[in-house]
Copies of this chain bind each other. A is one copy, B any other.
Amino acid sequence: MLYRLSELIRVFISQKERSFFLRLSEILGYFPHNINIYETAFVHKSASKTFSDGSLINNERLEYLGDAILDAVIADFLFNKFPRKDEGFLTQLRSKIVNRDMLNDLAINTGVSELVISFTSNCNHKYIYGDAFEAFIGAIYMDKGFKGTKNFILNKIIKPFIDINELIEKETDFKSRIIEWGQKNKQEINFTCVEEEASAENPPIFVSHIKILDKVLGEGTGNSKKEAEQNAAENALSKIDN
């Protein structure tokens, strides 16, 4: 006697599991094989379970894996899409796709965020969804391999949610963003920049600090004043955001 998969699901798993399975399948566009690995991908560390040996089960290991797989897939995608662009262009464009804000947005847009289990309401954990999104990519990789993950990312993430041309145009101007933040929060932001002496062996390096009163909020180095300040502003923003 033959059963449809949907009938087997109805018979063998609970209502809660069924609803998770169906929602997950909807996001993935296929029926997952290894449900456990996806379940783990959605467990924030605040909701960790414990192994018998005391080690924790949460999504941090899968986040580590997914982060690397996502980087590789996007690197491949951009490498082939822009055969005449140099590695500076490719690196910058990739960082616009895989930055934490974008990953958080993707988690929300795909519906991944609805599946996350977390017992924290702490504002410091702003990137719970983005981190879970990376873990989710790690789970797909464990379930379907590199090719399956690449297909998922290209068809279910990039095609519907990412406008590459818009990203190319978008200036990631951290300096403007930190100044804006200062104005909004009534804090005077000061930039200092020092050019370190160049030598025969080393090109000059610029070191920038961003201060509020006398407190260093961010620091960055670069081959130009502009680059150092951008890096310092990015560094400051990462501290504010986290």
Asked if A202 is at the interface of the complex by the 8 Å CB criterion, the answer is yes
Q: Are A65 and B61 in contact (CB under 8 A)?
A: no
Asked if A60 is at the interface of the complex by the 8 Å CB criterion, the answer is yes
In the complex, identify which listed stretch (A48-56, A112-120, A154-162, A173-181) lies at the interface while the others stay far away.
Answer: A48-56
Q: Are B239 and A202 in contact (CB under 8 A)?
A: yes
Interchain CA distance A87-B221 in the complex, whole Å: 28
Asked if A197 is at the interface of the complex by the 8 Å CB criterion, the answer is yes
In the complex, identify which listed stretch (A3-11, A16-24, A67-75, A99-107) lies at the interface while the others stay far away.
Answer: A67-75
Interchain CA distance A64-B138 in the complex, whole Å: 21
* CB proximity of A177 to chain B, nearest CB, Å: 18
Name 22 interchain pairs, CB-CB below 8 A, sorted by A: A60-B86, A61-B79, A61-B85, A61-B90, A64-B75, A64-B87, A64-B90, A67-B75, A68-B74, A68-B75, A68-B76, A71-B71, A123-B201, A145-B147, A194-B216, A196-B215, A202-B242, A205-B239, A207-B216, A207-B219, A219-B219, A221-B235
